[in-house]
Amino acid sequence: MLLGAGAAVLVLGGIRATAWLIGPAFLALIVVIALYPVMAWLRRHHWPAGITTLVLVALVVGVLVSFAMIVVVSLAQLAALLPQYADRADQLLASVSGSLSSFGVEPGQLDEAVGSVSLDKAVSLIGSVLAGLSGTLSSLIFLLCLMLFLSVDAGGIERRLAAVAADRPQLETALRSFAHGTRSYLLVSTVFGLIVGVLDAAALAVIGVPLPLLWGVLSFMTNYIPNVGFVIGLIPPALLALLTLGVPDMLLVIAVYSVLNFVIQSLIQPHFVGDSVGLAVTTTFVALVFWAWLLGPSGALLAIPLTLLVKALLVDVDPAARWATALAGSLTAEPREPRRHRVSRGDAPAAAGADATAA
């Protein structure tokens, strides 16, 4: 046990030291896994392998470039907008200082506290949150290269899995389960994220908060962060509502986000996520904290797929370790057997050999 714990510490230290590489690489893998059914459908309809890879890369590039353009343009508008409210921020700080002094807080403490708060720090905080969430999307060239190579290799994944099944059938089943669970999780999170993003942007536009499109995109992105994503998506628009409209509208923004995002993201969605991937709500929260500590913002975004991969490699491959699934899994859903993709004619001999071995 001590040897295993020591080895785990060394492995985790190495992962944390190379988080700059592991985060984007795993993100590229997840995107290719999510879009692989498109490639499989095109190949079943006898599209050439080169064309299917080109279609997959075009889909990925379109999604990433669209998000990058929205975030970059909105951040530029935000940077130009916030300095206009510097005087408003000073007035709010002075008002807070006066209110606290009426409760017996000493003026020296107030001056020190007010001096430590500035609009520049608030802008820096908002920028760091957005930069952290979109940091894995900033190195587009690196990501696109990874996804290009992964897309090319994805064409022969059935032959590779058939070769794995010939020697380790449990591992082949676990890897298919990981891919199936990842796609189910991404589907659920994307649907709920679109709902939350549209509702938040519409509500902010009605209230009058500037840049509702940016905050809608932020709500969509933070929806991939389990349990607490809506809190991260709430802070920037609430601060901006305070600066532009005042305290009542800030409270209105908080109330709207609490009703929409908390109910949808923290009460309804976790049950669907648990049903789709077989993880309990507590497990998803602990996984979020662990992977965010290990990999940073990209770990928070990819917490569930990373947990599914670890579960596939350490638990699903070993029948004696199924007790871990019983403890950490969702009680409302039984794990579903992943549906095997039909392979092309070139993959048929290997797949037939794998089926014979499994039989």
Closest CA to 241 of 204, 282, 197, 273: 204
Give the per-residue pLDDT at 319.
78
Domain contains 79: yes
Q: Which amino acid is at 95?
A: S
- Residue at 357 is within a domain: no
Q: Copy the structure tokens of residue 21.
A: 């590489």
pTM of the shown model: 0.72
What separation in angstroms does the CA of 15 have from each of 58, 277, 291? 31, 24, 11
> Does residue 57 fall inside a structural domain?
yes
Does the structure show a pLDDT above 90 at 169? no
In a domain, 41, yes or no: yes
Structural domain contains residue 214: yes
Q: How far apart are CA 354 and CA 232, in angstroms?
A: 46
Q: Report H helices in 83-134.
A: 86-101, 107-115, 119-133
Count Cβ neighbours within 10 Å for each residue of 237-251 and write b for 16 or more, e otherwise: bbbbbbbbbeeebbe
- Residue-wise pLDDT for 220-278, tens only, equals 888 888 777 778 888 888 888 888 888 888 899 999 888 887 777 667 776 676 666 77
- CA dist., res. 104 & res. 95, Å (int): 15
User: Distance (Å, rounded) from C-alpha 196 to C-alpha 223?
Assistant: 8
The confidence score (pLDDT) of residue 204 equals 92
10 pLDDT above the threshold of 90: yes
Percent of the chain residues past pLDDT 70, beyond the cut: 68
**What average pLDDT score do residues 284-305 get?**
87
Say what the pLDDT of residue 317 is. Answer: 84
Structure confidence at residue 291 (pLDDT): 92
- Mean pLDDT: which of 142-146, 287-291, 322-326 is highest? 287-291
Half-sphere exposure of 68 (CA within 13 A, CB side): 14
Contact 217, 88 (CB under 8 A): no
Alpha-helical regions (H) of the chain: 2-17, 19-44, 49-81, 86-101, 107-115, 119-133, 135-138, 140-154, 157-167, 169-207, 212-222, 229-244, 247-257, 269-277, 281-295, 297-301, 303-311, 322-328, 348-358
Structure tokens at 144: 């696109």
* Cβ contact 304:34 at 8 Å: no
Q: 249-256: which pairs have CB atoms within 8 A and are 24 or more residues apart?
A: 249/207, 249/208, 249/209, 252/207, 253/203, 253/204, 253/207, 253/209, 256/200, 256/203, 256/207
Per-residue model confidence as pLDDT tens digits over 81-128: 666 666 666 666 666 666 656 655 555 555 555 555 555 555 555 555
Domain count, the chain: 1
60 is a domain residue? yes
pLDDT in tens, 30-66: 888 888 888 888 888 888 877 877 787 787 777 777 7
Whether residue 167 lies inside any domain: the answer is no
CB proximity list for 295: less than 8 A, separation 6 or greater: 15, 16, 19, 22, 23, 302, 306
Model confidence at 316: pLDDT above 90: no
Name the token pair of 129. Answer: 């949150």
Above 50 in pLDDT, residue 335? Answer: no
Q: Is 158 exposed, middle or buried (0-12, 13-18, 19+ CB in 10 A)?
A: buried
Answer yes or no: is 346 within a domain.
Answer: no
Query: What is the residue range of 206's domain?
Result: 20-84+118-157+173-332
CB atoms within 10 A of CB 273: 22
